Amino acid sequence: MIQAPKGTYDVLPREAERRGILEAHVQRIFGGAGYRRIETPAFEATELFARGVGASTDIVQKEMYSFDDGGGRSLTLRPEGTAPICRAYIEHGMHKLPLPVKFWYFGSYFRAEQPQKGRYRQFWQVGAEVIGAGAPETDAEIILLLAELLEAMGVKGTRLRLASLGTPETRVEYRDELTAYLRAHESELSEEVRARIDLNPMRAFDSSDRGTQVVMADAPKLLDRLDPEDAEHFEQVRTLLDVAGIPYEVDPTLVRGLDYYTRTLFEFTSDALGAQSGVGGGGRYDRLIEQLGGQPTPGIGFAAGAERILLAGAEQPIAPDPVDLLVVVANREDRIAGVAGFELAREARRAGLAAQFELSGRSLKGALKHADRIHARYVAIVNDPQSATLKDMESGDQRELETAGVIATILRGSRLA
């Protein structure tokens, strides 16, 4: 038996409907704010992610599905959407458009990870990017729209954490300061943190070791080292969120995977999710477009996991698709009546009715039972090429009609008895 590959899953029709609802909310909320949909290829040159995500990130170091395309080029199944969208922005010369350009997307992404609840190897993200605007209103807007989306989907127990990373230069200086601080307190730190001082000093903030936590309480914080302009930018983002009534916590220890972030960084989590609590996050990436070969251009975006939104979101009642008409051929052996019935279903659809042809060869009795099951409003039993019995499944009334009159009768909604 062949099964779906580890870490992947099938979107069965019921789930597909919930996804459709999610997509409709994204379209409504982001479309309403002037964001337009973008789609990029499922794979890209590996180099794009190596340069655009950052060589030191988990994604690039261990989570990419890379392969040779047969011609000696390395391609990678896209692990995230921001670098591809910036690539497309540069490739299509979108800097000539009125700025900023605002995109939303909904597609699948691939990461070689250990699968668990809320973590897959192929997963879907909804996201948005604003390229060509650096003002703090942009940062606040994108956070606000994501908050609105999560609310519309009924995601429970959300928390928003917020920080500012300043510039890469500030971070380099800060990193030296933090490393020196950790060195000075080396004996009080856990083994694990000590071993990673040079590799990733920021991780010390996440340690569950008591001694390390005591040391980190007094450690220098990046937020206190921001340049005045970066600090002011962050202040304004906070003011805008305060006015919009979006609750958040400033978390000076917030670190996210991607190297290209500048200034604002944010993440929504949900208590409803357990271990994989991250619903979506993002940040500003004012250096990325330049790093990919474009003009220096500010940008900001987020990505949120569709599975996690659906897991933490409210079950939305889904009404079954309406069926206006089920066409049944009384005598399956009668091929000419079969053609008439098939045509009737086709014409009914062209007239705007939701009409199905009974395909499975059920007996008349079985077909009527099936009509009940799918909540068909009417059943047309085609007796011969010219005549059909139209049955109103609600009242039970039925009437013999010319086949040609069936659709008009349904559209008029006239009583059959």
Binding site for ligand ATP (CB under 6 A): 80, 111, 113, 118-120, 123, 125, 256-257, 276, 278-281, 303-305, 307-308
Tell me which long-range contacts 18-25 makes (C-beta under 8 A, separation of at least 24).
18/310, 18/316, 18/318, 19/124, 19/306, 19/310, 21/153, 21/316, 21/318, 22/106, 22/126, 22/153, 22/306, 22/309, 22/310, 22/313, 23/106, 23/126, 25/149, 25/152, 25/153
CB of 29 or CB of 326, closer to ligand ATP: 29
CB-based contact 225:168 (threshold 8 Å)? no
Q: Which is nearer to ligand ATP, 123 or 234 (CB)?
A: 123
8 Å CB contact between 94 and 101: yes
Which residue, 270 or 389, has its beta carbon nearer to ligand ATP? 270
Which strand (E) or helix (H) includes residue 367? helix 364-373
- Minimum separation from the CB atom of position 27 to ligand ATP (A): 19
**Is the Cβ of residue 280 or residue 294 nearer to ligand ATP in the bound state?**
280
CB nearer ligand ATP, residue 233 or residue 308:
308
Residue 173 beta carbon to ligand ATP: minimum distance, rounded to whole angstroms: 25
Cα three-residue angle 310-101-282, rounded to 5 degrees:
40
Other beta carbons within 10 Å of 291 = 16
* The one-letter amino acid at 152: A
Please, what is the minimum distance in Å from the beta carbon of residue 50 to ligand ATP? 16
- Mention every residue, 6+ apart, whose C-beta is less than 8 A from residue 145: 29, 30, 33, 35, 128
Instruction: Tell me the closest approach of the beta carbon of residue 305 to ligand ATP, in angstroms.
Output: 2
Measured CA to CA, the distance from residue 286 to residue 165 in angstroms comes to 12
Smaller CB separation from ligand ATP, 201 or 282? 282
Residues 6+ apart with CB under 8 A from 259: 53, 54, 55, 56, 57
Q: Which residue is nearest to ligand ATP (CB)?
A: 305
Task: Give the nearest distance from C-beta 382 to ligand ATP in angstroms.
Answer: 49
CB of 62 to ligand ATP, least distance (A): 12
Of 306 and 381, which has the nearer Cβ to ligand ATP? 306
Task: Identify which of 318, 30, 316, 314 has the alpha carbon closest to the alpha carbon of residue 157.
Answer: 314
CB of 238 to ligand ATP, least distance (A): 21
Nearer to ligand ATP, 118 or 294 (CB): 118
Q: Give the shortest CB-335-to-ligand ATP separation in angstroms.
A: 51
Q: Which residues pair with 249 in a beta bridge?
A: 161
Distance of alpha carbon 281 from alpha carbon 20, whole angstroms: 22
Residues near 152 by beta carbon (within 8 Å), at least 6 away in sequence: 25, 29
